[in-house]
Structure 1
Amino acid sequence: MKTHFKTIIISDVHLGTKGSKAKEIARFLKQYRCENLILNGDIIDGWQLKKSGSWKRKHTRFFNRIIKMIENHKTNVVYLRGNHDDFLDQILPLQIGNLSIQTDMIYESHGKKYFITHGDVFDSITTNLRWIAYIGDVGYTFLLWLNRVVNHYRIKRGLPYFSLSQYIKGKVKSAVSYIDQYEEELAKMAKAKGCDGIICGHIHKAENRYIDGIHYLNSGDWVETMSALAEDEDSNWQLIYYNEIDFKSSANLHISSFFEGENEKNSDIIPLKQVSFDRNNDDQIEPPAFRS
């Protein structure tokens, strides 16, 4: 099992909400080393924290894990602003050691350029009609609650995790149409910026495909799909799903490598290569707004 990646991208963790899989993502990050970790928006759900959300110890552990990645492996961490963590507008841009907070970024690797943004810049509902977005947020919160109830009984019966909310969205024709349009618009923006691809989150739908020659990547979320994007040393991207990880084999790998010689111990760690992070200088694009 590969334990090292050049870059890992996660988004839509929604810490502060009941639906957030904080324990799972902390466990996920413990399995891997990476040179760059990009938190692509909606990591903290400020909207829910203002209403009925609560901050728990498991949410703090997520950031403790990131701090350990910085301290132990010198990981570069970039936190990009989403719509649910729009409170970051008060401090960005900010650079503290290996941690930077900003609106979006240009990522370069192996001669390819990717524009990375949370993605709500193209969500007209949350950009112009925030009160409608809040109503939608309430409905989505209920759907996630129902999702937890369903999976509680599925686990009792020995059945695997099932994302009810993803299933419902996949059946609703208007939602499917919205997602298709969303992906196409982001691909157009990447092309306009002279980039080879675009990396986003926001709609909680993990994806890795090409749209009119543009590499479209979506990291998914840690409320429903529990997925992340990972890039290896050869600039190959892949989606990793938490429910498909064999943690038992991973634990055995770490235990066996502990007793091996020093040279063998690090044999699964691929040498790091340089990745450049450049801020986007295009002032014509307004910063992302809001989304439920």
Structure 2
Amino acid sequence: MNTTFKTIVISDVHLGTKGSKAKEVARFLKQHSCENLILNGDIIDGWQLRKSGTWKRKHTRFFNRVLKMIEQENTRVFYLRGNHDDFLDQILPLQIGNLSIQKDMVYESNGKKFFITHGDIFDSITSNFRWIAYLGDIGYTFLLWLNRQVNHHRRRKGLPYFSLSQYVKGKVKSAVSYIDEYESELAKVAKVKGCDGIICGHIHKAENRKIEGITYLNSGDWVETMSALAEDHDGNWQLIYYNEMDFSKKSDEKLREIGPQLDLKTVAFDKLPENFNLGNFRF
């Protein structure tokens, strides 16, 4: 059954990596329609693709699904740049029909304002010491590889999914301290910008809570948590976890439910608005 929301926020899909749950996120979007879809950074993992990452057909299917939402459901899509898809800096800002690619945004709904950003700009390690960030990325990639091996054996024994990387991060005091500081700092940013809340991603930890009167929302990720934020038409936000969804009635549909693959050129360029002007676009 399709559930309709006003806005859905997804971040940290990391397409191009082995850990990306591309099939699951495409299936999630098939089950949940929305007026606004916000892709809040690290959707494509340019860092891994430049090294050892691989682009697969299932990664393309994710964008096929997004384009289908634009074409058939008139969904407005906002793709916000993250640190792993920083290659987008070369074209920001860009708008083509219902697709907008930008750095961040202020979202207003039901009398409240939310500052939406991936979150990496406030990470001093990523912003100021890029080589350390890359080193950390290598360690995290290894942890995700180990996580796949652990869960392979768990599935063979009939055991449920277990996030080893989330467990490790929850046990390391420095990681816990960093997350707490990260959340507090972003809440301060929302207050400075005169917003009621902030919506981010980046740290792969889904959250919906109040911090000194500011609503802090984190959409999680589609590598470990497989979660998204959704806003109903009354302005209420909730976290949705893929592993808690009921697919029993459609277990035999598999990838067919995503629909036929769309021609990217046709969808992106054949139906541009008549007043569209490339004059300000810089390569």
- The alignment's TM-score, normalised by the length of structure 2, stands at 0.87
* Cα contact 2:106–2:113 (8 A) shared by 1: yes
Give the drift of 1:158.
1.4
- Structure 2 residue runs of 5 or longer lacking an equivalent are 253-283
Give the match for residue 288 of structure 1: none
Amino acid in the other structure paired with 1:166: Q
Give the match for residue 60 of structure 1: 60
SS at match of 2:84: coil
Give the drift of 1:251.
7.5
Give the drift of 1:250.
6.7
May I ask how many residue pairs the two structures share in their alignment? 252
Does residue 1:23 correspond to 2:14, yes or no?
Answer: no
Give the match for residue 97 of structure 1: 97
Give the drift of 1:153.
1.1
Give the drift of 1:247.
1.2
Taking structure 1 as reference, are residues 185 and 88 closer, same or farther at Cα in structure 2, changes over 3 Å only? same
Give the drift of 1:30.
0.5
Amino acid in the other structure paired with 1:119: G
Q: Distance in 1 between matches of 2:155 and 2:251?
A: 23
Equivalent residues in 2 for 1:49-198, closer than 5 Å: 49-198=49-198
Give the drift of 1:122.
1.2
Give the match for residue 42 of structure 1: 42
SS at match of 2:20: coil
Give the drift of 1:22.
0.5
Taking structure 1 as reference, are residues 250 and 229 closer, same or farther at Cα in structure 2, changes over 3 Å only? farther
Equivalent residues in 2 for 1:188-227, closer than 5 Å: 188-227=188-227
* Cα contact 2:2–2:33 (8 A) shared by 1: no
Give the match for residue 259 of structure 2: none
SS at match of 2:118: coil
Q: Distance in 2 between matches of 1:71 and 1:28?
A: 18
Give the drift of 1:216.
0.1
Give the match for residue 261 of structure 1: none
Give the match for residue 13 of structure 2: 13
* Cα contact 2:10–2:219 (8 A) shared by 1: yes
SS at match of 1:209: strand
Give the match for residue 245 of structure 1: 245
Amino acid in the other structure paired with 1:132: I
Q: Distance in 1 between matches of 2:227 and 2:154?
A: 20
Give the match for residue 266 of structure 2: none
Q: Distance in 2 between matches of 1:152 and 1:180?
A: 32
1:216-270 Cα offsets, whole Å, 9 max, x none, are 0000000000000000011100000000000124779xxxxxxxxxxxxxxxxxx
SS at match of 2:189: helix
Give the drift of 1:154.
1.1
Greater alpha carbon shift after TM alignment, 147-156 vs 197-206: 147-156
Taking structure 1 as reference, are residues 138 and 166 closer, same or farther at Cα in structure 2, changes over 3 Å only? same
1:104-146 Cα offsets, whole Å, 9 max, x none, are 0000000000000000111111111111111111100000000
Q: Distance in 2 between matches of 1:168 and 1:7?
A: 32
Give the drift of 1:155.
1.2
Q: Distance in 2 between matches of 1:153 and 1:98?
A: 44
Q: Distance in 1 between matches of 2:178 and 2:249?
A: 40
Q: Distance in 2 between matches of 1:9 and 1:218?
A: 9
- The alignment's TM-score, normalised by the length of structure 1, stands at 0.85
Greater alpha carbon shift after TM alignment, 114-123 vs 151-160: 151-160
SS at match of 2:60: helix
SS at match of 2:240: strand
SS at match of 1:8: strand
Give the drift of 1:72.
1.0
Q: Distance in 2 between matches of 1:250 and 1:193?
A: 44
Identity across aligned pairs (percent)? 82
* Cα contact 2:2–2:30 (8 A) shared by 1: no
Q: Distance in 2 between matches of 1:232 and 1:2?
A: 14
